[in-house]
A and B are shown apart, each in its own frame.
Chain A
């Protein structure tokens, strides 16, 4: 009798733990879905802001100074690149992880200045003020003055003396790029969580 009761207790504990694990996967999936939708909304508003700032810069500087015909067609290194790596999750499966390498000059095959970001939820908050950015150093320790130089270099296709509105547009599109990479990472996490939830449901039904 006592043994039966003990077995029954163990079985109930096992079922409870299984339910906890399922709830946890479900919550993680819903969290990642919520984060994904929030980021999509944020991307949309950042891009709208960027396009309007670009139009505002064109209005201030003139159409002859800001147009597609001035973009540089010479072969040159990409100012920003995307690194894709495999990340182990719970030692069971690997999922792709996207990392943005911003303002990395790959002249001579080496990175001379750059700002490597792994876009996790701890991403530092950026604001529009370049002045405040100059006072904060990057996580990798790359001086922000080099980053600002790279930013100016990429804007120099439109001239050296450009309106602050064009610089704001550049920052907006930079933020949009970061958000895109965050979305990609969150999308991968979301799909992985969905797989987990699906497996648990199948196990339960099985």
Chain B
């Protein structure tokens, strides 16, 4: 049994919980996806989406459409809903909602720094940033030469400042350092978010611990698979794994020494929740692993709505919308490239 959230939650969180449950009802259904998967052109997709909540965001877009336009406009809807919730939220919900966007903030920081290293124009890079991860001084990132300057000039005044303590060096920024910075920041962010949810206690702590532990474990698997055959050493790989989750610490020790996908499978199959994921893949195959992980994530996120009086529904809704936008991106790409037979390779139904 949790605390007596039922008695006090609705005082500050009741309205927004009702709002987010209303938003959840607007997620696309299997019938919507079936219609979208049968579209012949991107204009057909636009026409089908005009009957959904994305309609107002796409209606003024001229033809010919591009897949990035569809993704951009659908993301705008998510951003509007998030901002509506954030401006109505009180503490600690407002801090919780801000935590949800720190991942995008890290992605934006890395995008600007990488693009600057490649001598790209800052304006061009800012247009590619995720709107949920924007902050005031983001454009100033382009002047930093190393991580110390990055921190001192820009990030010290942002919510990412506490995550920088583990990666401040005076080394010049290069591709490897940037990659390590990205993963170290994300690791610190996840651990901080986890601790924050634990402090909130009750149903929020219970549900968010499960969701964040799954995220940490998935990250560990992706880092392992993506680093096979690269210059990243075993020790460096181990340092990028989060210090919580089902795989911590013994699974991480085994993953750190894996040299191919079959060894990763051997490690993961020892953990019953991940056995079902890897059982869907054939030996040596990693192409469908992303979809298998997304399906498991969606299942867990939908379960978060089965309970009331906790903040996990806000996190779950944001993640489900992001999955929906990924689905729309994939369907649009398959339609644009005339590869409709492959559309079900990566679409994850939410309901």
Residue ranges of A at the interface with B (Cβ–Cβ < 8 Å): 48, 51-52, 55-56, 58-60, 62-65, 67, 69-74, 130-131, 148, 152, 156-157, 159-165
Nearest CB of chain A from residue B222's CB, rounded to whole Å? 8
Identity of the chain B residue whose Cβ is nearest the Cβ of A158 in the assembled complex: B114
Report Cα–Cα, A60/B345, bound state, in Å: 12
Residue interface mask B119-145, A partner, CB < 8 A = 1: 110001101111000000000000000
Residue interface mask B93-128, A partner, CB < 8 A = 1: 000000000000001101100110011100011011
Query: Is B85's beta carbon under 8 Å from chain A?
Result: no
Nearest CB of chain B from residue A47's CB, rounded to whole Å? 10
Nearest CB of chain B from residue A145's CB, rounded to whole Å? 10
Report the interface size class on chain B: 35 or more
Is B326 in contact with A59, judged by CB distance below 8 angstroms? yes
Q: Which residues of chain B from 279 to 304 have any CB-CB distance to chain A below 8 Å in the complex?
A: 286-287, 290
For A131, list chain B residues within 8 Å (CB). Answer: 260
- Choose from B115, B179, B260 the contact partner of A160 (Cβ within 8 Å): B179
Identity of the chain B residue whose Cβ is nearest the Cβ of A73 in the assembled complex: B119
Binds A, one of B1-9, B52-60, B229-237: B229-237
Pairs of residues from A and B, 10 with the lowest C-beta to C-beta distance, nearest first = A161-B226, A55-B333, A160-B179, A72-B118, A156-B175, A73-B119, A60-B290, A64-B107, A69-B128, A64-B111
Query: Is B263's beta carbon under 8 Å from chain A?
Result: no
Is A65 in contact with B107, judged by CB distance below 8 angstroms? yes
Nearest CB of chain B from residue A4's CB, rounded to whole Å? 69
Query: Is B39's beta carbon under 8 Å from chain A?
Result: no
Nearest CB of chain A from residue B118's CB, rounded to whole Å? 4
Given contacts A73-B118, A73-B119, contact A164 B226 (CB under 8 A): yes
Q: Which residues of chain B from 160 to 209 have any CB-CB distance to chain A below 8 Å in the complex?
A: 175-176, 178-179, 182-183
- Choose from A59, A74, A159 the contact partner of B346 (Cβ within 8 Å): A59
Is B128 in contact with A165, judged by CB distance below 8 angstroms? no
Interface centre among A69, A70, A72, A163 (most CB of B within 10 A): A69
- Choose from A51, A72, A161 the contact partner of B179 (Cβ within 8 Å): A161
Is A56 in contact with B226, judged by CB distance below 8 angstroms? no
For A160, list chain B residues within 8 Å (CB). Answer: 175-176, 179, 227, 230-232
Query: Is B246's beta carbon under 8 Å from chain A?
Result: no
Identity of the chain A residue whose Cβ is nearest the Cβ of B72 in the assembled complex: A63
Is A48 in contact with B337, judged by CB distance below 8 angstroms? yes
- Choose from B71, B115, B222, B342 the contact partner of A69 (Cβ within 8 Å): B115
Given contacts A159-B182, A160-B232, contact A59 B337 (CB under 8 A): no
Is A70 in contact with B226, judged by CB distance below 8 angstroms? no
Is B68 in contact with A48, judged by CB distance below 8 angstroms? no
**Known interface pairs A63-B128, A163-B226; 10 further A-B residue pairs with C-beta atoms within 8 A, sorted by A's residue number:** A48-B339, A55-B334, A59-B290, A64-B130, A70-B120, A74-B119, A152-B230, A160-B230, A161-B232, A164-B226
For B129, list chain A residues within 8 Å (CB). Answer: 64
Identity of the chain B residue whose Cβ is nearest the Cβ of A60 in the assembled complex: B290
- Choose from A56, A71, A161 the contact partner of B118 (Cβ within 8 Å): A71
- Choose from B119, B128, B232, B287 the contact partner of A64 (Cβ within 8 Å): B128
Residue interface mask B320-351, A partner, CB < 8 A = 1: 00000010011001100111001001100000
Identity of the chain B residue whose Cβ is nearest the Cβ of A52 in the assembled complex: B339
Report Cα–Cα, A131/B262, bound state, in Å: 13
Nearest CB of chain B from residue A85's CB, rounded to whole Å? 34
Is B337 in contact with A51, judged by CB distance below 8 angstroms? yes
Identity of the chain A residue whose Cβ is nearest the Cβ of B128 in the assembled complex: A69
Is A157 in contact with B118, judged by CB distance below 8 angstroms? yes
Nearest CB of chain A from residue B190's CB, rounded to whole Å? 16
Nearest CB of chain B from residue A165's CB, rounded to whole Å? 7
Report Cα–Cα, A57/B308, bound state, in Å: 37
For B114, list chain A residues within 8 Å (CB). Answer: 70, 157, 159
Report Cα–Cα, A165/B115, bound state, in Å: 22
24 contacts between A and B (CB under 8 A): A48-B337, A48-B339, A51-B337, A56-B287, A63-B68, A63-B128, A64-B111, A64-B128, A70-B111, A70-B115, A70-B120, A73-B119, A130-B229, A148-B229, A152-B231, A157-B175, A159-B114, A160-B179, A160-B231, A161-B227, A161-B232, A163-B222, A163-B225, A163-B290
For A162, list chain B residues within 8 Å (CB). Answer: 226
Report Cα–Cα, A161/B224, bound state, in Å: 9
Query: Is B223's beta carbon under 8 Å from chain A?
Result: yes
Nearest CB of chain A from residue B275's CB, rounded to whole Å? 22
Is A159 in contact with B175, judged by CB distance below 8 angstroms? yes
